[in-house]
Amino acid sequence: HSFDTVVRGGTIVTAADVYQADIGITDGKIVAIGRDLQEAATTIDATGLLVMPGGIDSHVHIAQPSGEGIVMADDFESGTRSALLGGNTTVMPFCLQQKGDTLREALKKYHALAEGNCFTDISFHMIVSDPTPHVLGQEMPALAEEGYTSIKVFMTYEGLRLRDDEILATLDAAKRSRQVVLVHCENEDAIRYLIGRREADGDTAPYHHATSRPIAAEREATHRALSLAEIVDTPIVIVHVSNREAMEEISRARLRGQKIAGETCPQYLVLTADDLDLEDFEGAKFVCSPPPRDKESQDACWSGLENGVFDLYSSDHCPFRFDDPGGKKTEKGMQSFRWIPNGIPGVATRLPILFSEGVKTGRIDLNRFVALTSTNHAKLYGLYPQKGTIAVGSDADLTLWDPELRKTITNDDLGHGADYTPYEGMEVTGWPVKVLLRGDLVMEKGVPVLGKGRGRYLPRKRSNLINGETSL
Ligand code: URP
Ligand code: ZN
Ligand code: ZN
Ligand code: ZN
């Protein structure tokens, strides 16, 4: 046989093209693309299906420590299983440096947790919470050379947030080591003040998570992060943008010539703050930061996906169980929203929501869908063209997508460790039916075909933004 596997009869979709062709795969790589490819040991029928590069979710939290007594609902097995069921072949979780730890110590923990347990390929962003001279001067440059080419910093969350001088020092170190920096933009002091006010007024229900994290707190921090990056002259990524005003800051920075990327997430397209107002504490199911906003903000985020303000559409999957004192229903969280762990599950539902609400409605085309869900993630984070496209020489990571399959989203189908999905009952059209990871059929009809442990750790090259590109 000429090929190990041929994917036959499908419609190939990349960020640039849509066309009919077969894909020949040998040793996990795409080795031929063409009509009527010859016999292979294995043939996968893709008739009537879209064949897309496997989804890359560059923003997920797995097994991340989240406070005393709180346990994230996914380990690497369940988190990557859920990703796979949702049509993803690569996810990029965060590796959290806890205060007092070195980056190496943090990496050792996460690699041990991930090793042998993943259904998809993975790669880590480092969260820098303690930017000591050793971290900035020794570890960051060394780790960058080893393939850890991105870091994240927080402007909010006590214990994680960096002050502006620390952010500047971290940006400067990232510039020297040629790493791209993701920034969580919310003004911690404003938020803490407002949380105190809400509690003093007796407004302690989950809904007040949203009222204590207003758009102005996100917009101001977005502007400040962009200004700090301009001062240091290094590229940053504004993650999980929820509203028009923060988007305007991104556009203004681009007009000034800054090299930046913007990301939004499903929760800002289809949820609103009203979801946090459900009774019986159900609003806690939607507590994440920044919080979902209003209809106008949803429309703005949709327009940003269409017009290029956003380069990335990620899940920010950060799952906690709802009916669990180690999850959303912590003893303290039931007393005040201040203590409800922030984050919602979404790695399995990311692609179907954008396809159904974006492609099927005509807001974005198929090429843009692939760019936003796969290609741009690979380019921004140094995985392209090994990942993120369908081309000779690329890894054979393919999602076979049924564009007409109608599904009602329900938690039982999602394979994650959370006991709920914020999208329960949502009707979508379009769903992944088969997934290949480096040439192996790993998912079929909502079931992992091969066991865990097929996923590999991916060292990465430098970001396209670092390599002189002005945009993805
Ligand atoms: O609420 C959220 N988004 N939790 C995850 C951590 C983060 O800020 O990305
Ligand atoms: Zn053969
Ligand atoms: Zn964040
Ligand atoms: Zn996040």
Summarize pLDDT for 195-240 with one digit per residue, the tens: 999 999 999 999 999 999 999 999 999 999 999 999 999 999 999 9
**Residue 471 clears pLDDT 90, i.e. is over it:** no
Q: How confident is the model at residue 468 (pLDDT cuts 50, 70, 90)?
A: confident
Ligand 1 probe mutation, 151, 342, 344, 350, most atoms within 8 A of CB: 342
For residue 91, the model assigns a pLDDT of 98
Q: How far apart are CA 186 and CA 191, in angstroms?
A: 8
Average pLDDT (381-399) is 98
Could you report the per-residue pLDDT of 261-299, keeping only the tens digit for each?
Answer: 999 999 999 999 999 999 999 999 999 999 999 999 999
Compute, in angstroms, the gap from residue 1 CA to the centroid of ligand 4: 45
For residue 72, the model assigns a pLDDT of 98
Compute, in angstroms, the gap from residue 150 CA to the centroid of ligand 4: 14
Closest CA to 167 of 181, 178, 180: 181
Which runs of consecutive H residues, i.e. helices, occur in 140-240? 140-146, 164-177, 188-200, 207-211, 215-232
- Mean pLDDT of all residues belonging to the chain: 98
φ/ψ of residue 174, rounded to 5: -65, -40
Could you report the per-residue pLDDT of 231-264, keeping only the tens digit for each?
Answer: 999 999 999 999 999 999 999 999 999 999 999 9
Ligand 1, residue 154: give the atom nearest the CA: 8
Whether residue 229 contacts residue 181, with contact meaning beta carbons closer than 8 Å, is answered with: yes
Compute, in angstroms, the gap from residue 156 CA to the centroid of ligand 3: 9
Residue nearest to atom 5 of ligand 1 (CA): 343
Ligand 1 probe mutation, 156, 158, 316, most atoms within 8 A of CB: 316
Compute, in angstroms, the gap from residue 5 CA to the centroid of ligand 2: 9
Ligand found nearest the CA of 182:
3
Residue nearest to atom 2 of ligand 1 (CA): 343
For residue 213, the model assigns a pLDDT of 98
∠ CA 394-236-304, nearest 5°, is 80
Cβ-based neighbour number of residue 296 at 10 Å: 11
**Residue 470 clears pLDDT 90, i.e. is over it:** no
Average pLDDT (13-42) is 97
Angular region, 30: left φ>0, alpha ψ -120 to 50, beta rest: beta
Around ligand 1, the residues with Cβ closer than 6 Å are 61, 184, 240, 288-289, 316, 318, 342-343
Q: How confident is the model at residue 469 (pLDDT cuts 50, 70, 90)?
A: confident
Ligand 1 probe mutation, 57, 58, 61, most atoms within 8 A of CB: 61
For residue 1, the model assigns a pLDDT of 75
Compute, in angstroms, the gap from residue 315 CA to the centroid of ligand 4: 8
Q: How far apart are CA 276 and CA 284, in angstroms?
A: 6
Residues near 224 by beta carbon (within 8 Å), at least 6 away in sequence? 155, 164, 185, 187
Ligand 1, residue 156: give the atom nearest the CA: 8
**Residue 311 clears pLDDT 80, i.e. is over it:** yes
Could you report the per-residue pLDDT of 123-174, keeping only the tens digit for each?
Answer: 999 999 999 999 999 999 999 999 999 999 999 999 999 999 999 999 999 9
Per DSSP (E only), the strands in 220-327 are 236-238, 260-264, 312-313
Q: What is the CA radius of gyration of the chain?
A: 21
Ligand found nearest the CA of 318:
1
Compute, in angstroms, the gap from residue 59 CA to the centroid of ligand 4: 6
Residue nearest to atom 9 of ligand 1 (CA): 316
Compute, in angstroms, the gap from residue 270 CA to the centroid of ligand 2: 47
Compute, in angstroms, the gap from residue 58 CA to the centroid of ligand 4: 10
* 458: amino acid identity, one letter: L
Ligand 1 probe mutation, 182, 293, 318, most atoms within 8 A of CB: 318
Ligand found nearest the CA of 58:
4
DSSP letter, residue 292 = P
| Reported pTM | 0.98
For residue 472, the model assigns a pLDDT of 87
Pairing of strands 440-444, 427-437: antiparallel
CA distances from 223 to 39, 234, 333 (A): 56, 15, 31
Ligand 1, residue 287: give the atom nearest the CA: 1
* Edge-to-edge strand list for the sheet holding 22-26: 29-34, 22-26, 3-8, 40-45
